[in-house]
Structure 1
Amino acid sequence: MIYINPTRINVPAEWEEKVKELKAELLLKKPDERIDFINSKRNETWGHPEILKALRKVIGNKCWYSEVDLTGADPNIDHFRPKGAVSEIDPDSLTKTGAIAVGYWWLAFDKENFRLSSMHSNQRRVDETTQGGKWDFFPVLGSRAQEGTNVSMLKENVLPLDPCSPTDVSLMWFEPDGKPGFRNWRRVPTLDEERRMRVTIWLFHLDKHEIAVRRANAMEDVRTALKNADAIFQIWQLSGGKLDNYERNLFDNALTQIKSKIADDAPFAGAKRCVIQLAKAEYDWIQEYMII
């Protein structure tokens, strides 16, 4: 998970105008009319082709939660805050309490509430050893926001990490084996941070075996690239570190390749950047040449 700047979601003015009308119409609906109205407007709002196009332009065609490449897959437009009823869970046991919350129906058409997602992060799946997928879950601590609150004014103690929050993304860490967690993190996490990590892994199915293997392989690819770059760097330094040196050009190319591997549009960029952070202790040149 890396930071997604929501101000980069650019949609056509015509879409904005239509949605403005639909929001006004939605606010006039009775509670038992809302969900049918919302679903009937799918193709005009979050299901509109321009929305998928706009979300893909932000960091490429990948899931904002798991960072898997969506090429050849069916992308989901997730409502970060569910548009329908929310199933409450116990945040520690991750089991249903049986309680149902109204949900965030008034945000159904807000582009700021949309997240580009893979099916495995958005739709509930149960594997042999893991389960996850957002479905109709959205755990918070304490009370939920008052109905009708503008998305920019929401005050909630949200548990899942949001890719559109820079402070949330700063908590997302991947261990050397590719598993999400806090091992080898920059400090000892608080109990609240551990709870949020646990909920995030469960909600977005970040520990799904297939995805974890692909993530671990991507991280190993970066480790190999760093090792190769360091070998070139050492040869360059032994030759005097001249600016017109052949090894210097090779090192430049190696740095360019590493930067490409951790670019915003690269799959598993967040996990790969964890590799870079850990490698700073081993390779001084990472800090000097500002790879990240």
Structure 2
Amino acid sequence: MIYVRRDPTLIPENVLRVAERVQAKLEALPPEKRSEFIEKKSHVWRSFARYLAKMSYGKCWYSESDCVQSFKDVDHYRPKKQAKRSDAEADEGYPWLAFSWDNFRLAAQRSNQINRDEDTEESVGKGAWFPLMQGSKLATWDDRCVAEERPVLLDPARITDVRLIEVTATGKMGPTRLCLGEYERTRVSTTVKLLGLDLPGLVSARLRAMRFVQEVVELVEKNKTAAELGEAASAFVSTHLRADSQLDMLQRLTLPDQPFASAARAQLKLMGYEDLCLRLEQAGLAA
């Protein structure tokens, strides 16, 4: 999962105005008419896809997948019609957020739609899932207290949520050291399962990115060892095997516009090169 800074300046004014007009019509409808109306207006949220993609450099906000050969959905973080809270519980969800772009997330279809994990045969994909922690307040049409809810699913638009999850040495996703309690750990494990963040293809892609980083770091270390052998070796390394270009490349791999940058950052941390991970303010880029 990657943090994505939402930028309304990337969305044309006319696209925002259309969503506002449709929202006004939804607000005026009786309850029994809302679901049908929302379905008929699906083009409204789909029109945001290209602008959401700009905010994440074309990558899925959940999986960081940048595969150009598959479509990406405009997911409603809080489901627009039905919200599945558990295997036995579901309700009408959050219809008042159907056309709210603050509720939109760009999602690869395997994270957004129900499918199967090839290794475990388990069902994965967000679908209508939106569980809340036990005891959480529940927002409704008449009481839209979403800020008081305690969602289980991590939100890529919240930096505090993204800080709880990271790529591990195995290429799978796991909790960071900032997960200080059972609540946070439950959020991470449930998010990984429901969004299919450890599907085999994703794990393989992360491991490829991590292996490349490892190879470059090992080359830097070999060059450093060679340079320490004497003046002649040091001069050769300085002239022909410049470490600064290799270090620059490693830093570029940690930028948010790079494929699986979170895996590159994880590998650098594992190898003790955490200082090479560019912070967003250093990069001058949003994730």
User: Which of the five TM-score ranges fits, normalised by the shorter chain?
Assistant: 0.7 to 0.9
- Separation in structure 1 between the aligned mates of residue 94 and residue 255 of structure 2, nearest angstrom: 33
Equivalent pair of 1:131/1:208 in contact (CA under 8 Å): no
Identify the residue that residue 66 of structure 1 maps to in structure 2. Answer: 63
User: In the alignment, what sits opposite 1:160?
Assistant: 153
Matched, 1:277 2:276: no
Aligned residue type for 1:27: E
> Where in structure 2 are there 5+ consecutive unaligned residues?
280-287
**What's the CA shift for 1:61?**
1.4
Aligned twin of 2:108: 118
> How many Å separate the matches in 2 of 1:186 and 1:158?
20
Cα distance, 1:258 vs structure 2: 1.2
Give the residue type in structure 2 aligned to 1:72: Q
Deviation, 1:263, is 1.6
Report the Cα offset of residue 200 of structure 1. Answer: 0.5
CA distance in 2, matches of 1:215, 1:148: 43
Confirm or deny: 8 A CA contact 1:106 1:148 kept in the other structure.
Answer: no
Give 2:250's match in structure 1, choosing from 258, 265, 273. Answer: 258
CA 1:149–1:46: 2 relative to 1, 3 Å:
farther
1:225 equivalent to 2:210? Answer no
- Aligned-pair Cα RMSD in Å: 2.5
- Percent of aligned pairs with the same amino acid: 30
Name the structure 1 match of 2:167. 174
Answering whether residue 26 of structure 2 is matched by residue 30 of structure 1, we say no
Change (3 A) 1:29 1:256: same
Deviation readout 1:252-285 (Å, 9 max, x if unpaired): 21122112222212222223212222222xx5xx
Change (3 A) 1:14 1:117: same
The offset of 1:221, in angstroms, is 1.7
CA distance in structure 2 between the partners assigned to 1:258 and 1:181 by the alignment:
23
**1:147 aligned to 2:141?**
yes
Judged with a 3 Å threshold, the aligned counterparts in structure 2 of structure 1 residues 290 and 260 are, in CA distance, closer, same or farther, namely closer
Moved more, 61-70 or 162-171: 61-70
- Kept in 1: contact 2:23–2:99 (CA 8 A): yes
Structure 2 SS opposite 1:181: strand
- CA drift of 1:42 comes to 1.5
Tell me if structure 1 keeps the 8 A contact 2:7–2:55. no
Residue of structure 1 equivalent to 2:283: none
Number of residue-to-residue matches in the alignment:
272
CA–CA separation in structure 1 for the residues paired with 2:215 and 2:249 = 12
Cα distance, 1:125 vs. partner? 0.8
1:116-160: CA deviation from partner (whole Å, max 9, x where unpaired): 111100000123404310000011112322426679x62210111
Q: Could you tell me the TM-score, scaled by structure 2's length? A: 0.85
Q: State the alpha-carbon separation in 2 of the partners of residues 290 and 211 from structure 1.
A: 21
2-structure distance, mates of 1:73, 1:27? 34
